[in-house]
Amino acid sequence: MSPIRHAIAHLAPGYFAAVMGTGIVSVGLHDVGVEVLSLVLMWIAVVLYIVLWALYIWRAVGFRQQVVADLRDPEIAFAFFTVVAATDVLGVRLAKEGMIAVATPLFLLGAALWFVFGYLLPWQVLMTRDGKPILARANGTWFIWAVASQSLAIGMTQLRPYVDALAAPWVGMLAVLAWSVGVILYAAMAMLVLLRVVHFGVTPQQFDPAYWVAMGALAIAVVAGAGIVEMDRSPMVDAVRPLIAATVVIFWVFCVWLIPLLVGAGVWRHAVHRVPLRYVATLWSMVFPIGMFAAASISLGTADELPAAGSVGQIALVVAVAVWAVVFIAMLYRVFAVVRDSIRARGSAQRSLV
């Protein structure tokens, strides 16, 4: 098997997190007025989205057994929800640029994928038994289920101004539904992951960057909740507006508390236990939470008039841009290495035939 085919066969299910991370950093830059860099990242996100769909379709057609195995593997299956979140995050960024005609189909696709994945994928994972305890395999990727729900809620808040009076109540209801489900899923996933840590422990090798999603899932709930609070009147939105307004600040404060814990865990993993720091696809699951925290902080700073949160958000955005750049360059180097090795392998095969 050529290096390219091998890379496709083993393509990580959560690679759409690259679109999520790039898209949310672009949103943050747009919100603070850094338009040129924001547009560059937006178009990078568009290219990544298209390329990843092509690669995943290639993998589904050419390596069906590997895809099915991933869908049944509790350690990585929930990473497929990055497809939902990436679709919505990209739609949000395009909507902010005024491209609502492109963003709307993305929001509709995200909603359809959320419903399909939300019912079929967890059933497939949790009802499959291979002799290994499910709880021992819970990890940070499980929080992506909650992230996907919150991303749909944000998409609906962006879509609401562009729908007519007949559709508006349904858009509001779907936004509240997705936000509420996302919050409950976060609580459930947090309990399962905590039970895994308590009962089975986590080794330094197992504590990968995907655990940062525990913070990112709350940060996106802040942005989604703030968007719902600012939505126009509708029966469902009016019923929950006070509750959501009271919870988003609490969620943001808990995000702040989680960050030192996650940074410390990274030090424990790489500095204390000497786990090599090299490029892996799950690094994008760290880029997105940092960018999402920045966006959430900036949102609180403006919408809720919390200048301290806005200042924290601007600092976090600088960090997010730096982390994004490092991970993006590392990804490009990895792609270059795979293509280079494939060309060399093909050259060697041709010389052997001569």
Q: Are 142 and 192 in contact (CB under 8 A)?
A: yes
CB-CB contact of 212 with 286 (8 Å): yes
Mean pLDDT of 273-279: 91
- At residue 304, the pLDDT reads 63
SS (H, E, C) 211-246: HHHHHHHHHHHHHHHHHHHCCCCCHHHHHHHHHHHH
Cα separation of 290 and 313, whole Å? 10
Spatial CA neighbour of 7 closest among 71, 73, 66, 50: 66
CA 284, 285, 290, 293: dihedral to nearest 10 degrees?
Answer: 140
Over the stretch 185-200, which tens digit does the pLDDT of each residue have?
999 999 999 999 998 8
Residue 305 DSSP label: -
**Residue of 220, 211, 222 whose CA lies nearest to 143:** 211
Average pLDDT in the chain = 91
pLDDT-derived band at 295, boundaries 50, 70, 90 = very high
pLDDT of residue 41 exceeding 70: yes
> Where do the structural domains in the chain lie, given as residue ranges?
3-127+140-344
| CATH tag for 3-127+140-344 (out of 1.10.3720.10, 1.50.10.150, 3.20.20.70, 3.40.640.10) | 1.50.10.150
Q: What is the DSSP string of 119-136?
A: HHHHHHHHT---SS-SGG
What are 194's two structure tokens? 């905590």
pLDDT at 352: 65
| Mean of pLDDT values over 19-27 | 96
Greater pLDDT, 125 or 328: 328
Sign, Cα dihedral of 348, 54, 278, 68: negative
From CA 302, how far away is CA 48, in angstroms rounded?
A: 30
Tokens representing residue 87 in the block: 């679709």
Per the structure block, which two tokens stand in for 6?
């091998």
Distance between CA atoms of residues 308 and 300, nearest Å: 9
Query: Is pLDDT of 349 > 90?
Result: no
Q: Which residues fall within 8 angstroms of residue 169, CB to CB, at 6 or more apart?
A: 234, 235, 236
